[in-house]
């Protein structure tokens, strides 16, 4: 039988969507009393939801200070860039090598999903939550195409930070530009090889790094 989601899981899903849409913003405190009253839930239910989001890397919980939306600092951006480059470049190299110099269909399908998310629904602006998940899914699809379970597992552990990265990048990039950049990335990977990914990752890290510190 399918397991029904708990109230805490449903609350975590709603808070996750709001966080990834930028409201509340990175670094903003999540006040228990306000959230308990707003959602009409018990305090222990809210805390369980916040712990779930903390486990995903989207929320930080500090003793005597409570919870806040996580925020990447200068060193976080640099370290994430370095780790992503190590994992994703090798994954892209293996993916191309094992698929005759092309990326498999799931990667192209993930790109189409990202383009749709960036375009938004008819008559409405794009949901940054949808964009964030589609962006993470595309990079995950590239890594999955490597066929390397260890690389895939290591990359999946970065999912929360990838979502947080794009959340903080939101003020600096338009959805249309994001979609175009990733369409160009997939084309460049298939024509120029895995090295095309390094410039892509570095550009996005430097764009965010300019607002929180330098990436060297």
| Stated pTM of the model | 0.84
Q: Which residues pair with 59 in a beta bridge?
A: 69
pLDDT in the model for residue 124? 83
Residue 158 is classified by DSSP as T
End-to-end CA distance of the chain: 51
Does 125 have pLDDT greater than 70? yes
**Torsion of Cα atoms, 70 then 73 then 76 then 82, to 10°:** 130
Residue 99 is classified by DSSP as T
pLDDT in the model for residue 213? 57
Same domain, 174 and 195: yes
Same domain, 159 and 192: yes
- Among 69, 88, 108, give the residue marking a domain's end: 69
pLDDT in the model for residue 22? 84
Tens digits of residue pLDDT in 84-115: 999 999 999 999 999 999 999 999 999 999 99
Same domain, 106 and 151: yes
Contact criterion met (CB below 8 Å) for 137 and 144:
no
Same domain, 145 and 41: no
Does 14 have pLDDT greater than 80? yes
- Can you tell me the mean pLDDT for 135-157? 97
Contact criterion met (CB below 8 Å) for 88 and 142:
yes
The two beta strands, 59-62 and 29-30, are unpaired
Give which of 150, 142, 133 is closest to 106, Cα–Cα. 142
Does 1 have pLDDT greater than 50? yes
- Looking up residue 98, the CATH number of its domain turns out to be 1.20.120.530
The structural domain count of the chain equals 2
Does 130 have pLDDT greater than 50? yes
Output phi, psi for 95, to 5 deg: -60, -45
Same domain, 156 and 184: yes
pLDDT in the model for residue 38? 94
Residue 135 CB-half CA count within 13 A: 31
Does 35 have pLDDT greater than 70? yes
- Can you tell me the mean pLDDT for 132-137? 94
Residue 176 is classified by DSSP as H
pLDDT in the model for residue 192? 96
Query: From CA 42, how far away is CA 26, in angstroms rounded?
Result: 25
Query: From CA 130, how far away is CA 98, in angstroms rounded?
Result: 30
Continuous H helices in the chain? 7-20, 32-39, 43-55, 74-98, 105-119, 128-144, 149-156, 159-169, 175-192, 196-212
Same domain, 103 and 139: yes
Q: In sequence order, what are the residues at sequence separation of 6 or more whose Cβ sits closer than 8 angstroms to the Cβ of residue 98?
A: 145, 146, 147
Same domain, 172 and 186: yes
pLDDT in the model for residue 195? 94
Same domain, 116 and 23: no
Output phi, psi for 72, to 5 deg: -80, 130
Pair of tokens at residue 51: 């712990």
- Looking up residue 37, the CATH number of its domain turns out to be 1.10.10.10
Same domain, 45 and 92: no
Is residue 11 included in any domain, yes or no?
Answer: yes
Share of residues in the chain with pLDDT > 70 (%): 97
Q: Which domain holds residue 78?
A: 74-212
pLDDT in the model for residue 216? 42
Is residue 31 included in any domain, yes or no?
Answer: yes
């Amino acid at each position: 039988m399918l397991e029904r989601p708990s109230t805490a899981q449903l609350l975590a899903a709603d808070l996750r969507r709001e966080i990834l849409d930028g409201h509340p913003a990175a670094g903003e405190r999540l006040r228990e009393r306000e959230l308990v009253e707003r959602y009409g839930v018990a305090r222990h239910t809210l805390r369980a939801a916040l712990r779930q989001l903390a486990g995903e890397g989207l929320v930080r919980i500090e003793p005597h200070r409570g919870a806040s939306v996580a925020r990447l600092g200068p060193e976080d951006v640099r370290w994430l860039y370095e780790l992503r480059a190590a994992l994703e470049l090798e994954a892209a190299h293996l993916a191309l090598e094992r698929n005759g110099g092309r990326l498999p269909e799931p990667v192209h399908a993930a790109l189409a999903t990202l383009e749709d998310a960036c375009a938004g629904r008819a008559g409405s602006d794009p949901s940054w939550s949808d964009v964030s998940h589609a962006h993470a899914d595309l990079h995950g699809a590239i890594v999955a195409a490597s066929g390397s379970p260890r690389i895939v597992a290591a990359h999946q552990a970065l999912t929360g930070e990838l979502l947080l990265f794009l959340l903080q990048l939101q003020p600096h990039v338009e959805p249309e530009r994001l979609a175009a950049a990733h369409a160009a990335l997939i084309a460049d990977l298939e024509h120029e090889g895995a090295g095309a990914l390094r410039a892509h990752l570095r550009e996005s890290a430097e764009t965010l790094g300019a607002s929180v510190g330098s990436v060297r």
